Every structure is written in structure tokens, then in C-alpha cells.
Chain A
Amino acid sequence: MRILLSLGAAAALAAPVADAPRMGGGGPGGGPVVELAPDTVVDVGMGDELVIETWRGSLTVRVGEDDEVRMAGGAGVETPGLARSGSVLRLVGAERRGSGDLVLTVPRWLPVRIHSRSLDVEVDGMGGGVTVEVLEGDLRLASVTGSVEASTLDGEIEVTDADGDLRLTALDGDVTLRRATGQVTVQSSDGDLELEEVEGAEVSAVTVDGDVVFRGGVTPGGVLSLSTHDGDVSAWLPAELGAEVEVSTFDGSFQSDYRVQTRSFRAGSPLHFTVGDGSARIVLQSFDGDIRLLTW
């Protein structure tokens, strides 16, 4: 079954769609709701955006070749509905709260926003911008480009092969980022942060209670900032590094593979020294923990 949803098509959809009964209650924003039986296909165009709210369970978003959204549900999935409000396609569940294991195939360029209280999310191959915010759930993103924002209160985040503006926040869980370039911000309150093969103009990783491990590079003129309150900070960088380095700890040690030379040091102030041409800036902080600046 193919349903064409385009701007101005709302009036046509006010009438029941053949063999696709409408769901009661109307869609968020007052638009018509189209029930999505398995293998339902909805055409989308540039400028559209897919929003998934109130879904519980698991959600997989993967890339297809056509400009369409295709839905497939696994065991236990409730039949969701899809409503359009302007350029926004909004997926909703029965009684506006759906649950189950849902798989969506969408075009790579389609921006996707996901908000839920309890949801495990897997996103693979998206390039039009991804926002995922859940209270509880693990988030796994792979081969994503562009603007990527992932946040979970209680869960882990794992992102691999990413390029763009990456903002990852697991408040009570670990964050792992592998093979990434661009602008990177990684945060946690109670969790470890691991960044492997990461290089960007601005890379920041901050946790309160946990270790921070970074292995990668920093571009000339770029900034790498790694910080924790209670934990160790370990950074592996190329031997041919050029950076102004700032190290701060209230109660901890600092270990460096690079030659450390400083003209002055005042208690209570950061330790500053220069490596190579000093073109980049590296900030390493741990209130209570060891700091290591090592070569790989």
C-alpha cells in the first residue's frame, strides 16, 4: 500500500483511505492520522521531517534508496499512525502511546527527531540530522553525518563512524564514540567516556563521576577538552603533536609522554606547557584523579 502525503494533501486524507482505517482521536496538531500497517510506504520530499514521539520499546531507523518512509513492525508492535502537519510527519501510537519493536526505512537525507520516555534506538546511515532524546534506553548510531544529538538519562550511547556536529549525553551511562570527525561534545554525569579514533576542530568530553579516555588527534587550531570530577583522564595523541596544553587537578597526578617545560607554576593554577608548534589547545582536568597525556 502506498500513501502519498504531500503539502496540501491533508484535505484528501480527511476522507478514509481505502483499506487503511483511520485511527481515532486525530493526530497531534489536529492533522489526519494514517494507520501504518506493516510494509506501509509513505512518500516524502525534501524539506520534510520525521518526528517519532511517545513510542516505547525499540526503534530501528535505517536508510533506504527511495524517497519514502517504510514501516515494518516486529513481534508485539502496535499499529502506529502517521500524521502530517505541514512538513512534519509525526509517528504516533494507538492512544498516542505506541509500543513494540518498530523498524523504519527512510531516505538518508530525511531529518529525524525521536523523543520518548523509554526506548532503545538504533540509527544507521542517516545524513539529514538526527535528534534522539529518551529518558531510559540505549542509543546506538552508526554511519551518521551532519547534526547528531543523542541523549539518554539512563542508558548507554554508542556511536561509530560519524562526521559532523555530534552532541552525545548519557547522564547515567557510558558513552563510546569510535571513528568520528567534526565537532564533538560528549557528556555524562555518572559514566565513563571513551573516544577512539576521534579527531575534530572542537572535541569536548566531560563527566562528573567516571573516566575519560581519548585516542585520536586534534586539528591545528582546534581545541581538545577532557574533564572529569572523580576519575582519570587519559589522552593518546600523535607523537608529532603541536599544542598548548593546560592541565589541572586538585588531587591527582599528571603523566606525560611529551616533554614538559614551564617557566612558572603557581599553586591553584593550571599547569601550562607547549608541545611542538603549539597550534592547537588541549585542556585536561580532573578534580580527583590522574591525568595522562600519552603518545600512540
Chain B
Amino acid sequence: MNGRHDPWIDRLSEFLDGDLSPREAQAVEEHLQACPSCRAVREDLEEVRRRARALPDREPARDLWPDVRERLGEDPLAEKIIPLKQGRPASTGRSARFSFSAPQAAAAAMVLLAGGWLAGTTLAPEQGSVTLSDRRPNAEFVGLDGNIPGFPGALSRELASLERRVLEGLDELEPTTRATLLRNLDVIDRAIRESLDALSREPGSDYLRGHLGGALERKRAYLERMSTLMEA
């Protein structure tokens, strides 16, 4: 069997980097007070960071940017290519590297990353795992009218019905299996929430709409598969 995966651990590195919002950081701190295993991971991470800081800086073996520039320059359609803002040398191989982040893309178009990074704006995972008693089908991402914004009401009702059926059958499962199933629902719901949030900020994004549709379809397929397997 594969090992368990704690979503809190994913947040610890960001927590130590100071990349979390005050609300997220407070949530992590509260969790750390109650969770010895996460405290142990935090201590390990701090030790790794201490050792990393003690390492001497190393210069790159060679400047890779001339190779990248040469490859870009040999394009016969160079004049028709979207202008790219040149940055510092790329960090790996001969690859050209780009960054495009939808929230900033309207202003920045595409930027040759070359060592930089456009700060993320994604939401943090919801706190901890959801218990059965806490969980209400789709409650976290349906609108006031009970529908998923921008999608047919029938889809929302179908997902709610499927999820209710699966949740009702959870009592028959082993506790570990039940926890795994709920954690996976959390993972999928988080993807849906983040997609909805992104789409609310970029309503014209074809990619985000397709991505959200894919996430909803995955949830439907997941619940259908769970329902089938639980009958085995």
C-alpha cells in the first residue's frame, strides 16, 4: 500500500518560508500545537534549512543564456513572435522557459522567466481532513441557488446525489479506507474550489472553464466508481 499523505505537511515549507497569509499561518500554527508528527516534520525542515544556509554559494559552470538567445534568434518568424522580455540566464539546459500566470497575464502577456517567478495566488487547502459528520455534498462550492456557477443545475444535483449515496455507505468500510475516500474527495473538491475561484477572477479563460469542467467530471467519475466498488 502507498503511504499516507498529510496535506498539512505540504503547507509547512510555505509556512517556514513565510509565504502563507496570516489566516493560513495561524491555521498551521494551531495545527502544529495539536499534531506531534507535523511538529517533528517542521523540526526536520528547519534543520534542513539550517544546513542549506551553511552551504557555500556555487557559480554556474557556464552561462547558458547565449545558447537560449541563439535558438530564439534563429527563428525566421522572429518578427512575428510575441516579444519576450529577456531576463537572467535560464537555469537549466538549453531550454527556453516561460511563465504565464492568468491573473497577471492580462498585464504581462508572456514573460521569459529566466530565473524569475510570478508569485502564486492559489488558495490554500482547506484545513485538515473532513469528517463524515462535517461533510455536506457539494456544500463548499455550490452557489446560493444550489447550483455550481456556470454549470447546469442537473450536474450539481447529480453530484450531490452521488456523493450522498457514497457517504451513506461509508460506515461499512474499514476506517482507513473511509479516511482515504474522504481525503480524495477533499483533494477533488479543493481542485474544484480553486478552479471556481480562478474562474471568478478570469471569467473569459477557456482553459479555466475546461479545467473546472474536467474537475467536476472527475468527481462524478470518482463517486460512480466508489459507489460501484462499495457494492463489491
Q: Which residues of A contact B (CB under 8 A)?
A: 53-54, 115-118, 133-138, 151, 153-156, 169, 171-174, 187, 189-191, 206, 208-209, 227, 229-230, 248-257, 259-265, 267-271, 285, 287-288, 292, 294
With A116-B232, A208-B218, A292-B95 known as contacts, the answer to whether A253 contacts B1 (CB < 8 A) is no
How far apart are A156's CB and chain B's nearest CB, in angstroms? Answer: 5
Is residue B101 within 8 Å, beta carbon to beta carbon, of the partner chain? yes
Partner of A268, one of B5, B121, B180, B205: B205
Question: Out of A118, A190, A260, A267, which one reaches B184, CB within 8 Å?
Answer: A190
B window 159-191: CB within 8 A of A: 173-174, 176-177, 180-181, 183-184, 187-188, 190-191
Considering only CB atoms, which chain A residue lies closest to B103 in the complex?
Answer: A251
Contact of B82 with A268 in the complex, beta carbons under 8 Å: no
Question: Can you offer 13 A-B residue contacts whose CB atoms are under 8 A?
Answer: A138-B1, A153-B184, A154-B1, A190-B5, A208-B215, A250-B101, A250-B102, A253-B98, A271-B98, A287-B191, A292-B95, A294-B93, A294-B95
A251 in contact with B101 (CB, 8 Å): yes
Q: Could you tell me the distance between the alpha carbons of A155 and B72 in the complex, rounded to whole angstroms?
A: 45
- CA of A264 to CA of B74 in the docked complex: distance in angstroms? 19
Whether a CB of chain A sits under 8 angstroms from the CB of B15 is: no
Residues A253 and B99 in contact, CB atoms below 8 Å apart? yes
Q: How far is the CA of A78 from the CA of B140 in the complex (A)?
A: 46
Size of the B side of the interface (Cβ < 8 Å), in residues, is 66
B128 within 8 A of A: no
Asked if B218 and A133 sit within 8 Å, CB to CB, the answer is no
Q: Which chain B residue lies CB-closest to A269?
A: B206
What does the 1/0 interface line of B182-218 toward A look like (CB < 8 Å)?
0110011011001100100010111110010011001
B53: min CB distance to chain A, Å: 25
Instruction: Give the CA-CA distance A117 to B121 in the complex, in Å.
Output: 40
Q: Which 9 A-B pairs have the closest CB atoms?
A: A268-B205, A267-B105, A255-B97, A253-B99, A173-B2, A248-B207, A229-B191, A154-B180, A189-B184
Task: Please tell me if B49 contacts chain A, counting CB pairs below 8 Å.
Answer: no
User: Which B residues are CB-close (under 8 A) to A171?
Assistant: 184, 222, 225
Q: Does B226 contact A (CB under 8 A)?
A: yes
Contact A261–B77 (Cβ < 8 Å): yes
Residues of B1-28 at the interface with A, using a CB-CB cut-off of 8 Å, are 1-2, 5
Of the listed stretches B38-46, B106-114, B131-139, B148-156, name the one at the interface; the rest are far from the partner chain. B106-114
Q: For the complex, what is the distance from the CA of A1 to the CA of B195, rounded to whole Å? A: 61
Residue of A nearest to B202 (CB): A268
Residues of A within 8 A of B187 (CB): 189-190, 208-209
Closest partner residue, chain A, to B1 (CB atom): A155
Q: By the criterion CB–CB under 8 Å, are B96 and A268 in contact? A: no
List chain B residues, Cβ under 8 A from A230.
122, 191
B80 interface residue, CB < 8 Å from A? yes
